[in-house]
Structure formats: structure tokens, C-alpha cells
Structure 1
Amino acid sequence: MTVQDLPRAEVGLDVVVERKELIAEDVARLTLRRPDGEPFPSWEPGAHVDLVLAPGLVRQYSLCGDPSDRTALQVAVLRERDGRGGSRHVHERLAEGDDLVVRGPRNHFPLVEAERYLFIAGGIGITPIVPMLAAAEAAGADWRLVYGGRTRAAMAFLPELEGAYGGRVSVRPQDETGLLDLDALLAAPDDRTKIYCCGPEPLLAAVEERCRAWPRGALHVERFTPVEDAGPRASFEVELARSGRTLTVPPDKSILRVVEEAGISVLSSCREGTCGTCETEVLGGEPDHRDTVLTDDERASNEIMMICVSRSLGPRLILDL
């Protein structure tokens, strides 16, 4: 079986850091290649990968390179001084020539076809947007990018974006222009426009609030931080169709943890409902979706769920495990 035949979520590839470069204040871009020279699996704008940085240290990063170039993958990593250690590892310990493992790519933020696009990026949220701009341009779509950040020095990809697209890119450093004027940007709902937004949680929440009047499905966002889980936590059963077992999930444990404790292997990564690695098919029952990955339509279909955080609305779920 070749790499291309494997389900993408199961792909684990050895890679080498060919290049590490600082492209903005506290933003490092990594160029990764396979040491055997084989191509990477194909991917589309909006995709991300897991980087296995060290044992027990796995982080998700959006791909920001050229999807047509399957000889290399590129990610951009913001140093988060109050983070959990992944970005510090990249900035302080990772060096050119180091070996890593990449899993994926996966895409829960795909660019859908549209006549017009409004891209809104905040800070490092520009990374998944970069290949989207190239795709929109190649498709002949009408598009605009509004890109905010703390300062110009902290905003990655500025020279490339302004040089390639000129007036289609509106750069809005907060220290020069203040916060993005979302009221003006999103004042007129338009059924021909798709909005793509990635950035810090306050920006995403503000955009979502202002898009309530827009047509359903107009707004697409990507989060890499979990939302607060304030829902009820009752016990329920999960029937594992392939394993032939029924397990009880208590209030203080996730489905993922219970399944793992039963000795059943499930691929997972973030364990926060943000990466999509543990996506599992639902064969029966009604999930209580608590992830930040699935769209409203995907949640309503109840065909898949993220078992690291989501629970059950009823006494029993049947899963394809």
C-alpha cells in the first residue's frame, strides 16, 4: 500500500527541516521535505498537519505553501510565550537538519467555490489564508483580504502579499489603525460572498456575531483553541460496532479516554476538539457536539463526531470503532 492509498489521518511521514527562517517578529517558517525524496500527499488550501515535535509533543499547524509543490510542506509558527511549549520548542530548539514526523494533511477549513470572497485574518491566522488567496486569484474570483495584527513587524507574509496582490490586500496594524472595523466590513449581507476568517478567539467571536444576519453558510472560521465546555456531563454508553464491546463513559472522562483505557487504539492529537484527528463515524444515537471543527451542517447530520470532547445527548451512542 502506498502513502497515497492510506487514509490521510493515518499517514505518519518522516521529514527533515530543510529551512527555518524568521519571517516576522516571533514567527518562524519551516520548510519540510521527505528524506527519501518521495512526494507528500496532495492537499488543498485550508489544510493543516500534525507535527510530532518530540515524544508527547504534537501540535497542529496550517499549511501555508504551494499545494502544487508536493516536494515540500511549509508551516509558520508563532512563538507563544504563555503557550504549552510547542511553539517554544520550534523557536528555541528546532534546527535545520532536524528530523520530525508529520501526520496528515487534514482539511476542516476548505475553500468552497464562490463568486466573491472576503478574507479576514488576525495575526498568525493569516497562515491558512495565504494559499486560499492564490486559489481565489487563479479561479478568477473577486476577493479582498483585510489583515490585522499588533504591528507591521509582527505580521507575517506582508512583503509577499502586498507585492503579489497590491490593492486587494488591506493591511491594518493595530498600533496604526486600531481594531478592524468589522461593522463596516460586514454591514451588508451578500449571498454571493463567502467570508473566511482565522485569528485569535476575540476576532472570531466578533466576526461570528456580526455575521448572524448573513446567509447560512456564508461564514467559515477555523479555531485552534478550544471553546469553554459548560455543558452537562452525565454518564452514557458507547457501543463499539467493530470491536463488539459496550463501554460506560462516566461524567469525568471523555469517550476517547474510556476507549483507550479499554485497550482500543484511536488516533488522536489535540484532545481539545480543535484538530479533527479523532474524527469518528456515528452509527447510532445523537452526539452532543462540543468541538470547534465541524460545521453546523456537519453537526446536524450527526454522521461524525470528535470523541476527545463531544459526548452524547442520549443514553447510548454506537460508533464505528
Structure 2
Amino acid sequence: MTVYEAELVVESRESAADGVLALTLRHPLGEDLPEWEPGAHIDVVLGPELERQYSLCGDPADRGAWRIAVLREADGRGGSAHVHEELGLGDKVRVRGPRNHFRLEPAPRYRFIAGGIGITPILPMLAAAEAAGAQWTLLYGGRTRNSIAFTEELGRYGDRVTVAPQDETGLLDLASVLEDLPDGTLVYCCGPGPLLDAVEERCPAERLRVERFSPKEQQAGENSEFEVELAQSGRTVTVPADVSVLDAVRAAGVEVLFSCTEGTCGTCETDVLDGTPDHRDSVLTAEEQESGETMMICVSRCRGKRLVLDL
């Protein structure tokens, strides 16, 4: 599958909250950008070995612009600092995508829960749910009121949106939105790991859809060596116990797209033609992992001695 890749121009930089910068990106020649649906993200290439994923949080109907929002992380790995300090108006930045592992499924009712910058994929979902005539509410938390982004934009939805700064109200009252869910209700949640873990403990898995910005703690077994047959290139690669499938494949000279190397972004998702993956990602749902049709080769391994991948 061909993935869109282009250099886009930073058309605007606006503060969305304390420490949150919203950027609007356009094609330098005014060309339309690929279509996307709520929940999608793009890869932003900020420099050599510096690539990050950001959710699209604008209007999917606007083919001329993509909007992202970036939280300045004091203890981050350099991506957010680069965006805040070095990516200026008129600068060009290379992007790939969009990709979507957090699609808004049709439902008569939704409960949205966002923590901090986790509001970004949720924003276009609210507009889509509204347009579809669904019943919905949003519970949105952050450390302080000034750190909670896009509150003015959310104001148009009235009391369906509950903003809960932690320094004023404490931890989010998850019971208020997760207890006694009416039939047909889907729960969408994005935010810090502890919030997602708490929601997963309280919400039936079949009702819940989450997106993680950092890897979920895995209870993986001991690594062992196995073989990977690459169906397209006709090669077989040995994957040692201390090497990822991604690294083994690349060492064999096969080029594949990848980004986070943590199993959170979905860039390296690869079709599995035979064999059983040992899933260790934080992207695929339990049902998707059970099907074994794809795997994230940056972290996942093999439950046997051999895999056949569509590479």
C-alpha cells in the first residue's frame, strides 16, 4: 500500500493551552491533502532519528489543511521541544500518513474520556457524533484549568462536556460515566497510561476503544530464536532472541516503514501470512490480536518457530 508522504508548510502556530501548541499544516502548492477520519494520526519527521506521531484534531472535511497539537513534555525525548522551539511559521516539515487505529465506530451513544493532550483524537469524534445525531458526553481532565486545551472550542457543546481540572476536583470521576452504560454505548478514551488502565479496569472490553501514547506494560514470556519468511522478497531471516523482527529484517536489507519502535504508532504493521504472532503491541485490539492477521514487527514476536510475513 502506498503511503502519502510530503513536505508541508507550517501555516499557523497558536497556543491551545499552557504548554500546548496547535499547528496548521498545508501543502506548499495548495494541493488537497489525503482524506482522513476521526482518530487518525500522522507521522511527523522532525529530523534524523527524530520522528513523532500526532493525532489530527481539525476538520476532516477541510482537505486543504491538517491541524495537530503538541504538548511540551519536560521529560520527553526531544520531539515536543523541537516543535515548540524550532518549528516556525513558514517552515517545511515532512509528514507521512494518515493512519488510523482508533476509528469512531457507528453507535447510538458514546462516552468520551480524555486526559490532557488525549483530547486531540477525541475532538473530531465529537463533531462526527454530533453530526450523526448520537447521544454523547465528554469527561475531560487535566492538571490545571489553564493546561486543558481547546476549552473555547468545546464550549459550543454546553453541558455535554465536563471539564475537570485535577487541582480543583481531584481524579476524574470515572464511575459517573462508566456505571450502568446503556445498551449500544461505546466508550472512547485517550490520555495518560494510568487513566487508560483505570478505564480498562472499569469498562467491559467489548465496549471500550483506547489509544495510547506510550506502551502498555506487557507480561511477555522469554524470548527465543525463530525464522521469518519474507513472502515478497523470497528470503528467510533468522530472528535471534535479543533482536526484534524489525531489526532483523532491516539488517537483511529489506526496507520497511517504522517509527516509534515501541508498539504504539502502528507504522510497522505487517500482514501475517502464516504462523502465530506473539503480540506485544499497544495498538491492536484483543480481537485483532486474536485473529493474527497483522503484527507490529517492532515489538511482537512468534509463538512458534516460524512466521511468514508479507514483506
Same fold flag (TM > 0.5): yes
Cα displacement string for residues 234-263 of structure 1 (whole angstroms, at most 9, x for unaligned residues) = 111101111111111111110000000000
Q: Distance in 2 between matches of 1:12 and 1:234?
A: 36
Q: Secondary structure at the match of 1:217?
A: helix
TM-score in terms of structure 1 length: 0.95
Deviates more, 1:145-154 or 1:187-196: 187-196
Counterpart residue number, 1:3: none
Residue 32, structure 1, aligned to residue 25, structure 2: yes
Q: Residue 170 of structure 2 aligns with which residue? A: 178
Secondary structure of the residue aligned to 1:266 is: coil
- What residue is the counterpart of 1:94 in the other structure? 87
| Mapping for residues 98-247 of structure 1, pairs under 5 Å | 98-162=91-155, 164-211=156-203, 214=204, 216-231=205-220, 232-247=222-237
Q: Which residue of 1 aligns with 2:69?
A: 76
Alignment of 1:298-317 (within 5 A): 298-317=288-307
Q: Is the 8 A contact 1:279 1:305 kept in 2?
A: yes
Note the C-alpha offset of 1:227: 2.2
- CA deviations over 1:75-95 (Å, ceiling 9, x no partner): 000000101000000111111
Shift of 1:55: 2.0
Which structure 2 residues correspond to residues 54-69 of structure 1 after superposition, within 5 A? Answer: 54-69=47-62
CA distance in 2, matches of 1:210, 1:251: 36
What RMSD, in angstroms, separates the aligned Cα atoms of the two structures?
1.0
Task: Kindly report structure 1 stretches of 4+ aligned residues shifted beyond 3 Å.
Answer: none
State the distance in 2 between where 1:240 and 1:246 align: 6
Name the CA distance, whole Å, in 1 between partners of 2:28 and 2:100. Answer: 24
- What residue number does 1:295 align with? 285
Look up the equivalent residue of 2:104 and give its one-letter code.
Answer: L
Distance in 2 of aligned mates of 1:118 and 1:189: 9
1:100-148 Cα offsets, whole Å, 9 max, x none, are 0110000000000001000000000000000000000000000000101
1:230 is displaced (CA, Å) by 4.2
User: What is the percent sequence identity of the aligned residues?
Assistant: 64
> Structure 2: where are the runs of 5+ without partners?
none
The separation in 2 between residues aligned to 1:58 and 1:77, in whole angstroms, is 13
Q: Is the contact made by 1:46 and 1:107 (CA closer than 8 Å) also made in structure 2?
A: yes
State how far apart, in whole Å, the 2-side matches of 1:182 and 1:229 are. Answer: 24
1:275-301 CA distances to partner (integer Å, 9 max, x unpaired)?
Answer: 111110000000001111111111111
What amino acid sits opposite 1:227 in the alignment? K
- Paired residue type of 1:185: V
